[in-house]
Amino acid sequence: METRELAYFVEVARELHFGRAAERLGIAQPPLSRAIARLERRLGVRLLERTSRRVTLTPAGEALLAEGGAALRAVEAAVRRTRRAGGTGARLVLAMKPGGDGGGLLPDVLAEYEREPDALPVEMLFGYGARQALDDGRADAALLYAPRADLTGLAVEELVVEPQVVVLPRTHRLAGRAQVSMADLRGEVMPRTPYRPDGDGPMVTEGGQVMQLIALGRVVAVLPRSYRRLLRDDLTAVPVPDAPPTTLVLAWPEESRSRALAAFVRVTAAVAARRDARTHADAGAAAGRP
């Protein structure tokens, strides 16, 4: 199967109209029809049912649309990563939410990574679409929070486990509490993000939007505890003990064989482990004080 034929089929399958698909592809309709017929002969199945009035997908066509779209995206991502690795100014791109490094893990990681012999310059890509940046090849690795983010098809290194807090305006009815429960938050409007598209509030794509909406009283947000570092003076964070803890992970495509990325994973895991050991030692010392 040729990639071009697959791309032609995916466009027709999405449009369910040969004329519109040909226009979007920038080709004439007869060559497009011949390409689809050739693809059907190669696969030995009918992909489309065509009448004078409409085009519909067969079960085989539906399967190829789902699988073929993913395959094309994977090819495009591979092309982006290959060009980035082989071109002038090769670099490693790390995607993350603003402030989403487990409470300041990244400065130590970057400083230590620079000393690695396989290191590349690290470029940061900020936003809530970190997983999407991995899928489309714009990023080589991402800092994500599980279980919020979908980690399917990714290799991961667990870094930091964090309890969650709810971020509220200081004037909110719950702002003075020592802690709240998820039941206390029932009825509150939560923002939608690419990580949590099922929320009932406005869609946000970066951290500044979330904090602004909270300050305006439009939403509240349950976030990892380390996000307290980003709070404005008019916001507060209250622990939510019964909210499931989140785990900060470093994620990357399973098929990656980049030595620069392998070094970055190794350094990040080591820095996170040392910080975790210090945290436990400090907690133990505090517990032993009279």
Question: Number of helices and strands (H, E) in the chain?
Answer: 8, 10
Q: How does DSSP assign 201-255, residue by residue? A: S-B--SHHHHHHHHHTTS--EEEEGGGGGG--TTEEEEE-TTSPPEEEEEEEETT
Q: What percent of the chain has pLDDT over 70?
A: 92
Residue 142 pLDDT exceeds 90: yes
Q: pLDDT-derived band of residue 240, with 50, 70 and 90 as boundaries?
A: very high
280: how many CB neighbours lie within 10 A of its CB? 10
The answer to whether the CB of 43 falls within 8 A of the CB of 2 is no
Q: Residue type for 163, please?
A: P
Q: Which domains does the chain have, with CATH numbers?
A: 3-84 (1.10.10.10), 89-161+246-287 (3.40.190.10), 164-239 (3.40.190.10)
The model's pLDDT over 4-15, given as tens digits with 9 standing for 90+, comes to 888 898 999 988
182: how many CB neighbours lie within 10 A of its CB? 14
275: how many CB neighbours lie within 10 A of its CB? 17
Q: pLDDT-derived band of residue 92, with 50, 70 and 90 as boundaries?
A: very high
pTM, two decimals, is 0.71
E strand residue ranges, the chain:
48-50, 55-57, 92-96, 122-126, 141-146, 154-162, 164-169, 221-224, 235-239, 246-253
How large is the average pLDDT for residues 233-240? 96
Residue tagged 């979330």 (tokens): 210
The model's pLDDT over 32-54, given as tens digits with 9 standing for 90+, comes to 999 999 899 989 999 999 887 88
How large is the average pLDDT for residues 88-101? 85
Separation CA 107–CA 31 (nearest Å): 54
How large is the average pLDDT for residues 138-142? 93
Q: What percent of the chain has pLDDT over 90?
A: 51
Separation CA 249–CA 146 (nearest Å): 7
Separation CA 203–CA 209 (nearest Å): 9
How large is the average pLDDT for residues 102-122? 92
